[in-house]
Structure 1
Amino acid sequence: MASTRTSLWRTLVELRGNPRACVWTEPLWGLSMALVLPYASVYMLALGLHDAQIGFLATVGMVSQVVFGLAGGIITDRLGRRATTAWFDVVAWVIPCILWAVAQDFWFFLAASLVNGALQVTQNSWDCLMVEDAERHQLTRIYSLVKVAADCSALFAPIAAVLVAQLGLEPAARILYVNAAVVMTVKIVWLYLWSHETRQGRVRMAATRGQSVWTLLAGYRGALGLLLRSRGSLLALAVAALFAAVTLVNGTFWQVVASQHLHVPDALLPFFPMVRSILSVTFFFTLIPLMTAAADLKRATLWGFGVYLAGQLLLVAIPAADGGATPTTYAFLGLCLLLDSFGAGMLFMLSESLVALHVDAGERSRVMALQRTVIMLAAAPFGWISGWLSGIDRTYPFVLTAALLVVGFALVLARWVPTDGHTEPVSA
């Protein structure tokens, strides 16, 4: 176990170039979006939105991501990984944060959701920027470090809790969104100055220079062919799509079920992501490296689906007390966080790594953009569906996620493709 911790620390210290820039600037997420995300859904409720509207906004956001995601490969190849990441981080985060900060009704949130879909462009370009010049054997550790950085960011949650306790939910959330816009701007500038264009990025910029958008769109046919002929890529796509759907539902309604069904006070809501993150970081330096050390990641993926499933079922089973949250409620929620932090952490790293391991290196940008588009299309309906279910019973969205995780477990069990670095068989 000591050696796995050492290898992760060693990777962090020894990273150079773009992987270092991407990983080391990621903790700024904690001083920006991570502070306010625990309040996003209950902030909407406070401004008069209802569950179905919140679920609809989640679906709209996913559909917007589909549109931007399809264009992401072209934009990334034309502008380059570095410039695309900078420009579209502004579009995807800074502008929506300003809209959320001044929101008055449903229409402000709708506009922000539409613009926030641009995150799929920058997710594609940022992934390429981070991994294209990295060593293949470092990929799982790099994605582990990204998850650790994101999880460490939740340690700043008490700042949000103090603001909510002192000012109330609505004014505190508005301040936190303004802060997020400012800090994200700092992160964008810092990453741009610290990074450089990748080797493959320069090749793609040269190859696409002077080509029309329609010609570049036609190139997706070749990328689609590569994707459909690769059994490993199709499996990675299915795993990532299921995980994206579960993440969408949890990100939208976990805080709602805690606040409205289990009667947890608003000021305590950010502590749950903080505890989840502390647990996740602990797992990333202990169990997860041990379980992902093997060349083939099948067993680790099965563990991720199985443990996450247990956490979702337990959340559904927690009894609600009419007089407010009880010590028993918090004990059960703590166990949910323990299970979720391991399962979601494992699946986050593995879903990203599987996509990166199976993708064709020469067409990484377009294939990954196509994959993300399919992932978002598959996940998009679950925002609206979970909103409708939450309007009936606030535990029902998590019955849905449990079913999705069962599907994922069965799929990995039946259709696994090895990731040991050998050339995979290509289907006809």
Structure 2
Amino acid sequence: MNRARNPLWRTFLELRGNPRACVWTEPLWGLSMALVLPYASVFMLALGLRDAQIGFLATVAMLSQVAFGLAGGIITDRFGRRATTAWFDVIAWVIPCLVWAFAQNFWFFLVASLVNGALQVTQNSWDCLLVEDAERSKITRIYSLVKVAADCSALFAPLAAVLVAQLGLEPAVRILYVNAAVVMMVKIVWLYVWSRETRQGRIRMDATRGHTAWRLVAGYRGALGLLFRSRGSSLALAVAALTAAVLLVNGTFWQVVVSERLHVPYEFLPFFPMVRSVLSVVFFFTLIPLLTTAVDLKRATLWGFGAHLGGQIVLVAIPAADGTATVSTYVFLGVCLLLDSFGAGMLAMLAEALVALHVDEGERSRVMALQRTFIMLAAAPFGWISGWLSGIDRTYPFVLTSVLLVVGLVLAATRWVPTRQDADPALVADPA
């Protein structure tokens, strides 16, 4: 690969200002939350929680995100993108990690899930910090780089596997949660020092200074009109909601079906996201740029839904293991990871990029806050539903995700609305 000619690598080297600060600090996710997330659901099972309770917690987390998401636009405009990101990262990640680290029963996880919902505030402010001062033609690639940075995080997964193998599941996961709290704090401080308030952020801080909270809430009415008058924003909202629901189910129950139905040992669990992430990084530097630098994001969206659907079907089709997982089980899981790494990676990037490309720039924080609220409301029931389905048969949650992905395919094929990037080739960076 010629680094000078690869468009994604070139964008990475040319990043400046806030986009560079956001992208370059993102790999610290790998030394914090990425180490412990593969064990989150099986850790709950080890402490006596049932599948239905785990699904209920996923729904509670989503509903908490809805509440915080509604306030996210107001908070981001009032206090600025930079300060909001710092304070609410502490609330959303550092505090819940410490609660998870000392969890004893369902109620600890419930409290942590409620507080963790604050991530929607910082997601809104962080997205604004990331793209508001960026060149519009580079937004798709910037979100690709964010996804690559998150995927590179999984390369640290063997550290968690070694810890689990040496100490056992429960004590190892508690240590990993404490580590996550510490490393996330380092990431928060580093991003705050390295970033600056955006131009639009300063404008919104000035515009909202002295206004009451109720007056700022009333401003959502205009943002709501902007959101639903735009067919492009509505389409982006639907794609993002379907993607969020599928990612919620996979993030909650993928490791459960692999460990409990296919009998893959606990210490192997972190290697699956690591392999998925390595493959995703390869795709982001090779195949995905070919699909997203052309003047047609519709094709990329269809490929994303189709590939992810294939991965879910393969997972459902893997025969249940009687005892220890067999060689054929790992072969099937490899095929599943190959398809998921491309499909889920593409959809995760496009779900963010399409929203950013369709949104009204002057009302970005409020419109994006409303979009995230509707996305979380749409995705929330699928946590409880998938938990109930998993209690019946652990493959059923992935039958559900397959149906959602078929809906996404049909929607993208029949209701596509071009972004400005689709419509105007001048807004697309030269891929050479």
TM range (shorter): over 0.9
How well do the aligned residues superpose, as a CA RMSD in angstroms?
A: 1.2
What's the counterpart of residue 217 of structure 2? 217
Q: Is the 8 A contact 1:5 1:289 kept in 2?
A: no
State the shift of 1:421 in Å. Answer: 3.8
What's the counterpart of residue 32 of structure 1? 32
What are the superposed Cα offsets for residues 9-32 of structure 1, whole Å, 9 maximum, x if unpaired? 111111000000000000000000
What's the counterpart of residue 270 of structure 1? 270
Q: Quick check: 1:389 aligned with 2:389?
A: yes
In the alignment, residue 231 of structure 1 is paired with which amino acid? R
Instruction: Name the CA distance, whole Å, in 1 between partners of 2:187 and 2:177.
Output: 15
Q: How does 1:23-422 map to 2 (within 5 A)?
A: 23-421=23-421
Instruction: Name the CA distance, whole Å, in 1 between partners of 2:3 and 2:22.
Output: 24
State the shift of 1:4 in Å. Answer: 9.4
Q: Is the 8 A contact 2:357 2:420 kept in 1?
A: no
Q: Is the 8 A contact 1:4 1:289 kept in 2?
A: no
Instruction: Name the CA distance, whole Å, in 2 between partners of 1:50 and 1:159.
Output: 28
SS in 1 for 2:6: helix
In the alignment, residue 113 of structure 1 is paired with which amino acid? S
Q: Is the 8 A contact 1:69 1:121 kept in 2?
A: yes
What are the superposed Cα offsets for residues 196-241 of structure 1, whole Å, 9 maximum, x if unpaired? 0000000000000000010000000000000011000000000000
Aligned-pair identity (%):
82
Instruction: Name the CA distance, whole Å, in 1 between partners of 2:422 and 2:270.
Output: 44
What are the superposed Cα offsets for residues 134-160 of structure 1, whole Å, 9 maximum, x if unpaired? 000010100000000000000000000
CA separation of 1:141 and 1:47: change in aligned 2, threshold 3 A: same
Instruction: Name the CA distance, whole Å, in 2 between partners of 1:262 and 1:415.
Output: 38
Instruction: Name the CA distance, whole Å, in 1 between partners of 2:124 and 2:144.
Output: 18
SS in 2 for 1:394: coil
CA separation of 1:3 and 1:33: change in aligned 2, threshold 3 A: closer
Q: Is the 8 A contact 1:82 1:129 kept in 2?
A: yes
Q: How many residues align?
A: 424
- Which stretch of the first structure deviates more once superposed, 4-13 or 103-112? 4-13
Instruction: Name the CA distance, whole Å, in 2 between partners of 1:285 and 1:422.
Output: 21
CA separation of 1:5 and 1:374: change in aligned 2, threshold 3 A: farther
Flag as ranges the 4+ runs of structure 1 deviating above 3 A.
1-5, 420-424
Instruction: Name the CA distance, whole Å, in 2 between partners of 1:19 and 1:387.
Output: 38
What are the superposed Cα offsets for residues 68-103 of structure 1, whole Å, 9 maximum, x if unpaired? 000000000000000000000000000000000000
State the shift of 1:396 in Å. Answer: 0.2
Q: Is the 8 A contact 1:77 1:365 kept in 2?
A: yes
What's the counterpart of residue 15 of structure 2? 15
What are the superposed Cα offsets for residues 168-216 of structure 1, whole Å, 9 maximum, x if unpaired? 0000000000000000000000000000000000000000000001000
Instruction: Name the CA distance, whole Å, in 2 between partners of 1:212 and 1:423.
Output: 40
Instruction: Name the CA distance, whole Å, in 1 between partners of 2:292 and 2:4.
Output: 10
CA separation of 1:420 and 1:168: change in aligned 2, threshold 3 A: same
State the shift of 1:389 in Å. Answer: 0.1
Instruction: Name the CA distance, whole Å, in 2 between partners of 1:109 and 1:3.
Output: 45
Q: Is the 8 A contact 1:28 1:183 kept in 2?
A: yes
Q: Is the 8 A contact 1:64 1:115 kept in 2?
A: yes
State the shift of 1:422 in Å. Answer: 7.7
Instruction: Name the CA distance, whole Å, in 2 between partners of 1:60 and 1:310.
Output: 29
TM-score (norm 1): 0.98
State the shift of 1:420 in Å. Answer: 3.7
State the shift of 1:324 in Å. Answer: 1.6
What are the superposed Cα offsets for residues 43-85 of structure 1, whole Å, 9 maximum, x if unpaired? 0000000100000000000000000000000000000000000
Instruction: Name the CA distance, whole Å, in 2 between partners of 1:298 and 1:256.
Output: 33
What are the superposed Cα offsets for residues 265-291 of structure 1, whole Å, 9 maximum, x if unpaired? 000000000000000000000000001
State the shift of 1:2 in Å. Answer: 5.2
In the alignment, residue 158 of structure 1 is paired with which amino acid? P
Instruction: Name the CA distance, whole Å, in 2 between partners of 1:245 and 1:231.
Output: 21
Q: Is the 8 A contact 1:96 1:116 kept in 2?
A: yes
In the alignment, residue 141 of structure 1 is paired with which amino acid? R
State the shift of 1:296 in Å. Answer: 2.2
Q: Is the 8 A contact 2:296 2:422 kept in 1?
A: no
TM-score (norm 2): 0.97
What are the superposed Cα offsets for residues 356-410 of structure 1, whole Å, 9 maximum, x if unpaired? 0000000000000000000000000000000000000000000000000000000
Q: Is the 8 A contact 1:296 1:420 kept in 2?
A: no
Instruction: Name the CA distance, whole Å, in 2 between partners of 1:408 and 1:238.
Output: 8
State the shift of 1:423 in Å. Answer: 8.1
Structure 2 residue ranges without an equivalent (≥5) = 425-432
What are the superposed Cα offsets for residues 110-153 of structure 1, whole Å, 9 maximum, x if unpaired? 00000000000000000000000000001010000000000000
In the alignment, residue 9 of structure 2 is paired with which amino acid? W
Q: Is the 8 A contact 1:295 1:420 kept in 2?
A: no
Instruction: Name the CA distance, whole Å, in 1 between partners of 2:275 and 2:422.
Output: 39
Instruction: Name the CA distance, whole Å, in 2 between partners of 1:85 and 1:98.
Output: 19
Instruction: Name the CA distance, whole Å, in 1 between partners of 2:63 and 2:405.
Output: 22
What's the counterpart of residue 430 of structure 2? none
- Which stretch of the first structure deviates more once superposed, 17-26 or 1-10? 1-10
State the shift of 1:354 in Å. Answer: 0.3
